[in-house]
Structure formats: structure tokens, C-alpha cells
Amino acid sequence: MAHVSVFDVLRPGPGPSSAQTIGPFEAARRFTHALAADGLVGNTVRVHVELYGALACNGRANRTAEAIIAGLAGHRPEAADAGTLDLAYATVGGANRLPLGGKRQIGFDVDRDIAWRVDRALPGASNALRLIARDSSGGILAERYFLSIGDGEVVEAAEARLAREAPRLPYLYTNARALLDVAAVAGKHLAGIGLANEAVFRSPGDIRRDLAARGDLMLRSVVRGLSAVAELPGGTLRRAPAQAEALRGSPASPAQWCAVYAQAVAEENAAGGAVVAAPTQGAAGPVAALLAHWRNAGPLEADEGTLDYLLTAGVVGGLLRTLGLRQAGCQGVVGVASAMAAAGYAALLGATNAQVLLAAELALAPHLGQACDPTDGRTQKPCIARNAAAAAQAHVAAHTALARQNPVVGLDNVALAMIESARSMATRYKDASPAGAALNVTEC
């Protein structure tokens, strides 16, 4: 059975896009590692990059070139932010030299060696890139095509996508009903199920440390987003700081604060700041927002609560990915983010497993039919506003679920409905499709 780890749906890295920033970042790193493994770094004097599909159309707005250069230079997404990408790009652009893998200096001209191929696309690939290593005579030493398939994941075009098999997981499930059953037999909350399964891959101490680090980064992204004053790329004004100031002078509801926190994170992501994708960079707001709201309330045992919150949110995010809810527009990213946040928050409130999954269902359902079609290709409009609304919905969903005793959970049905609706929207209502706001992207 394919296993989607909690750490696959909670990933630190710079914004603004999992598919168009983090995916190319990882592809460049993989290409550099492959050159090193094949002993070709010493003979490489130049690397050429070609971008296709949505990467070619919208990559400039989503820092694709900067991410690729950072990846070729040996940086890691989880340790990078906007400053890292800007510095790597400026250094290479100023000297026309790139430290391949952080070591060997090779020639690299940003204008010449990155080609934005808006004139062609690869079949079945909306975010594709080709990387070529050349020797001193211009000959090809290595050439690879990568597809950025979402959630920061990249695969090589030539390789079959093999299911990631879970080696002897203690708790196996393929849908929400099965998850409830195995949890009931084990006598565990969903966080306990997630912890036991993750312990197959890393020690409990490492799990706690890594999740705590992700929680801290989420909280820092909220703080940065509430205090930043610089405009977003493209000239859009940040709204979260002013909204937070207005709420401080009024009897604001918890849902309103959650919306502002999510807005702050989404704006920070749009600026290229370091956030935790949950499940993507563009949907990083809701999970961080509800964590910030809970921590700001000053609960006891905050660290243990953070662990339970993130494990529960990660289990639900992984479950929805296992069901196939990905590459499904905003319903598959912002909707899933809302479901993850609602589930984690319900767990903090003492909900039963059934109530936790009901909270996820109630938060997910309002997003049915939402397409991914950002204005000008940027992860800003309507993405930021949808993050804010999703966080507010998640908070309400958690409290609503808690009021229902022995609920019947229909999360599987909602997810399957979203997957079906995504099929009908796939070729028309999505980023870089022939219609919608993407029609007006000037590079296309």
C-alpha cells in the first residue's frame, strides 16, 4: 500500500509555489547529485535549462529561475528563504559563474542558459523542465527531463511512477473508514497512529524534533507576515498587518484571528519567505494559522499539543493524498489545508477520532469545485484570500464537529467528489489552462 508520510505533507521551504518553486529546486538538486554520482561534475563546464508548460508561462512570477540556480548551487529547500534565492541568483547573474553543487565553478548565463519554452509543451506535463550538462566542446554529458507534479515532488519523465510502498507499517488503511477501524482496534487517537507509522522510518525523538521545528517555522511565518511592510511581488499591498491592528481594537472572534494569521502566512509565502507547505506552499496558511491561534491562547503542555496537532493534520493530509486528492485545483490544496487544520484543531479540543474526521469533512466540503487559476500566474489572487477563508472555516468546522456525538463520517465521499470534479476542470479551469484568468498571462 502506498504510504504518504506526515513529513510529505508538512514540508519547510521558500514560497511561493510547491510546483513552480520547490519542484524545480528539487529537480536541480537531483540533477546535480546525479552528475556527482556519475563522476561528471569535473567535466561539466555549463548547464542549460529548458522550461515547458506552466513553468515557462508562469515561472518568472514564481521564482522558478532563482530556485533552479539555488538547487544547482547546492542549497536545500528546507534551509532556504527568499534571501537565499535572491543571493544565489544575484551572485550568478553578476559573474556569469555558478558553483555547481556548491563547489566547482562553471559558466552560467541566466539569460542564455535558461530557456522559457512557451512555444511548446510536453504531453501530459503542465510543469516540465529539461536539464543538460555540457562539456568543454559543447557536447552533452547528461540530459534529464523532470516533471514537477505538485506538493514539491518531482519525477523523471522517463521513469515509471512506482508506488511508495510502506515497509511493514503497523497500521494500514486506504480510506477514512478503514482509518477509524484500525484506530479503534489499536485504542489510539489519530496522532498515535501517525506517530507509530512514522516510527518505522525515523526515531520517535527525531519525529518530535522535526515536527517541533516545523511548528516553530509556522509560528515564525505568522509573526513575519504580521510585521512585514514591503509590497508583494507585482506591487500588491500586504493586508494582514492592518487587519490585525484593526482586530486588536475590536471584539474579534477566533475565526477572524485565524483568517488574519492565514493571510499573514499566505502573504509571506507570496513574498518568497520560508513557510511550511501544508500540503503546498500556496496553501500554507490554514494549518499555521490554527496552530498560532491555539498557542496564543497560552495552553499548558504546548509542545506536546503541537506534536498532536501536526501529527493529526499530517495523517489527514496523507489520507486525502492516498485517496488521490491532488492536482485538483484549489479544492485539492486549500481545501485539504482547511481539512488538515480542522482535524488537528479538533484533536486539540479533545475530539474523538470520528469527530476529528468529521471536522476535516466539514472544512473540506465548502471548497468543492474551486479551480486553480491565479491572476497573472502569481500565488496571490485569489490564493491569499482563499487561505484566509479556509482557516476561518477550519476553526468553525472543528467546533461544529465537537458538538456532534457519534457522527457518521463522509470524508471519503467528499474527497472522491472532488477528484471527479477535478477531471472535468483539468483542461480548462486551472493554472496555465486555455481559459480563465490564466488566458491573460502575458508570457503565454
Domain boundaries, the chain: 17-156, 176-440
Interior CA angle at 279 toward 281 and 147, to 5°?
A: 70
The predicted-structure confidence for 131-163, as pLDDT tens digits, reads as follows 999 999 999 999 999 988 888 888 887 664 444
380 against 46, higher pLDDT: 46
Residue type, 325: L
List, in sequence order, the alpha helices (H) in 123-239.
176-186, 190-198, 204-227
The predicted-structure confidence for 87-100, as pLDDT tens digits, reads as follows 999 988 888 999 99
Residue 432 pLDDT greater than 70, yes or no: no
pLDDT of residue 413: 92
- The mean pLDDT of 283-295, rounded to a whole number, is 95
Question: Percentage of residues in the chain with pLDDT exceeding 90?
Answer: 62
CB 401 within 8 A of CB 362: yes
Cell 486549500 -> residue? 334
pLDDT of residue 75: 94
Supply the pTM of this predicted model.
Answer: 0.87
The domain defined by 17-156 folds into: 60s Ribosomal Protein L30; Chain: A; (3.30.1330)
Pick from 8, 3, 67, 80: nearest CA to 278: 8
Cell 486551472 -> residue? 430
CB 293 within 8 A of CB 332: no
Range of 47-61, 181-195, 373-387 with top mean pLDDT:
181-195
Between helix 302-322 and helix 330-348 the angle, nearest 10°, is 140
The predicted-structure confidence for 233-264, as pLDDT tens digits, reads as follows 888 899 999 999 999 988 899 999 999 999 99
Question: Percentage of residues in the chain with pLDDT exceeding 70?
Answer: 90
Cell of 255: 475565526
54 against 390, higher pLDDT: 390
pLDDT of residue 426: 60
The predicted-structure confidence for 164-188, as pLDDT tens digits, reads as follows 454 678 999 999 999 999 999 999 9
The predicted-structure confidence for 320-344, as pLDDT tens digits, reads as follows 998 888 777 777 789 999 999 999 9
